[in-house]
Amino acid sequence: MAIKNIVAFGIALVMSVASSAMEQVSLDTGWKFKKGSGFGNANDGETVDLPHSWNTADGMFGGDYYRGSATYTKMLDIPVTGEESRYFLKVNAAQTVADIFVDNRWIGQHRGGYTAFVVELSRHVTPGKSHKLDIVVNNSPVSDVAPISGDFNIFGGLTRGVELLVTAPVCIAPDFYASDGVFFAQRFVSADAAEIDVEVHLSDTGQGYKDYTVVAELTDGDDTVAAARSAAVASDGVVAMKMSVANPRLWNGVADPFMYKGIVRLEKDGMTVDSRSVNVGLRYYGADADKGFYLNGERCRLVGANVHQDRAERGAAYRAEDFDETVDMALDLGCNALRLAHYPHSEEMYDRMDLAGLVAWTELPFVNIYISNPAYEENLKMQLKELVYQKFNHPCVLAWGLFNEANSGWMEPVGGMIASLDSLARAIDPTRPTIGASNQNDSFNSIPSYIAFNKYFGWYGDNPADMADWIDAEHAAHPDRAMGISEYGAGASVFQQSDSLVHPEPWGQWHPENWQTYYHIENWKILSRRDFLWCNFIWCLADFSSAGRKEGDTFGRNDKGLVTYDRTIKKDAYYFYKANWNRDEPVLYIAGRRNRNVESPTVDIMAFGNRGAAGLTVNGVSYGVAEPDEVNVMTWRGVPLGKGANEIVVTDSVSRDSCVKVLR
């Protein structure tokens, strides 16, 4: 992609929201599904709608789950348009390898379960007729498709929907890495001006582009044209234009996620042949080794959580309300960013983050190990291209994540592959930095533009205070390197409560909630004092499935989430962070409320609050006022309880919270 002369870290990015000339037909309903790769007629199998995964029953509770092939079959009605048309099939994700068949004839294959792909059907279908469409999907482990390792489930299926795209013979290319086919990028962005490059990729059937013109406009919120350009189409079908905007309104994160509208039209003889409409977010940002992250010239540490696209009942086959719930929860918590672990998430997630102003860390599924299989290397590069081109048009995207916990000690050295991916990402998109999430002291940490670390001091055999010593030593050893914390966390079951505070065995079945609360209080004290960190992401927002784990109250579950797997219960640590990160809403919350039955006649009461001092009463008797400490924790020690039920009430200037403790 030939976008040149980019000023580092200034960014004008886009989100696809609509297209007028290209018709998009949802194919999400009425599929026949059966395990195995054998073909039958269109009536064979179980009827399912998309998105769908076959691992929603066997992949969530530990042990083996089905990793093999399955077939989705549907009769595909080809519309009659009244003029010559082209037909494309877009699969938004198929985990892991997908083969496409029309009337039992193989059309194409895609290898990679987290990015979209497009195949053209025009030569294989007839307008006005029905054709049998089979998509054979296989999530078996293979050595040439990433990820080949990872502490999360690989949910087989058509997990993100399927569409039929209908276009004119000459069109904006829907099959350019299954992207928008149009790209807005900046040469320079500031509060005073924005210089934007527009690049458009076209597709034809051999007739060429004579007499075709591409028109690009940028409009503001009231449809006033802020910039406009047009250009003839070169023989290679790629059009590049430049435009500028004076005194732009910036995409300013959650404070003001304003976006312009970019309209691109392909015209012939003054008539629109194809078009795209995208939202354009203008911003500039960067990370400094001493001052941390800045957005639009203002310091703004990125605080948030990691999140997998995985939840109870549906696995990875999310519905619209699941994306809404995730974004709403992040905003309620006070996040300004999310790390979308450890693979590209659904397009709908990025759409919502654009609109909410949440910054996204998105990454390639290059996890843990590297093997020098040439096919694996090419697959990593292809998946990176798909990630960059498909998510390029999202103002929420901060950078291109290259790896997670790459480790040369497990298999083969990974540094060369990371360097190759870094060069490729920068070549395709010079407007964004690259990042990596490391848990190693390795020279490859210096390859990405920014580095962050996965560290679990206080959970995996260490003391929480060790986080401070490690961060300071790492910063001193690499004073010119922008560093952050990409993962930190501890497990917790809301069904396991304890009167005493004891470090549990991480791999054991006892994960009391109070240790997670303590862990996060101590870690946030350390992180919040170190302004040079450009980010910190909790591991993780919600519990998720990992079939190999045998720990906590449920096998097959990573329980480090601040919220339960079904999203119904927020753990105490959730409210701790809300009290610290969400200053717009009053928070007052009594921790340890699920530890209802106690044996000691005196207890410590702890609460989180962000509106100043609070008073405590037990059964109507006052036990004084406590001031929040540096991380908004208030503690009353040695509070006496009476036999039986005791009503605990905490009140501040604006809020009241209560719970019951029963002395047995």
Q: Which are the catalytic amino acids?
A: 405
Amino acid at 38: G
Q: Which two tokens stand for residue 41?
A: 């007629």
Q: Which two tokens stand for residue 431?
A: 């407007």
- Write the burial class of residue 503 (CB in 10 Å: 0-12 exposed, 13-18 middle, 19+ buried): middle
Collapse the DSSP code of 661 into the 3-class scheme (helix H, G, I; strand E, B; otherwise coil) and give the result: strand
Q: Tally Cβ neighbours within 10 Å of residue 621.
A: 10
CA 264 to chain centre: 27
Separation CA 430–CA 84 (nearest Å): 38
Q: Tally Cβ neighbours within 10 Å of residue 211.
A: 10
359-363 and 256-257: which strand pairing?
unpaired
Separation CA 445–CA 105 (nearest Å): 47
450-454 and 483-487: which strand pairing?
parallel
* DSSP secondary structure letters along 365-434: --BS-----HHHHHHHHHHHHHHHHHHTT-TTEEEEEEEES--TTTSS--HHHHHHHHHHHHHH-TTS-E
Angle of CA points 238, 240, 241, to nearest 5°: 155
Separation CA 60–CA 141 (nearest Å): 18
**Is residue 240 a contact partner of residue 231, using CB atoms and an 8 Å limit?**
yes
Residue with tokens 């299989």, as numbered in its chain: 373
**Is residue 52 a contact partner of residue 95, using CB atoms and an 8 Å limit?**
no
Which of 315-354 are b and which e, b meaning 16 or more Cβ less than 10 Å from the residue's Cβ? bbbbeeebbebbbebbbebbbbbbbbbbbbbbbbbbbbbb
Q: Phi-psi bin for 9: left (phi > 0), alpha (psi -120 to 50), beta?
A: left
Separation CA 399–CA 9 (nearest Å): 9
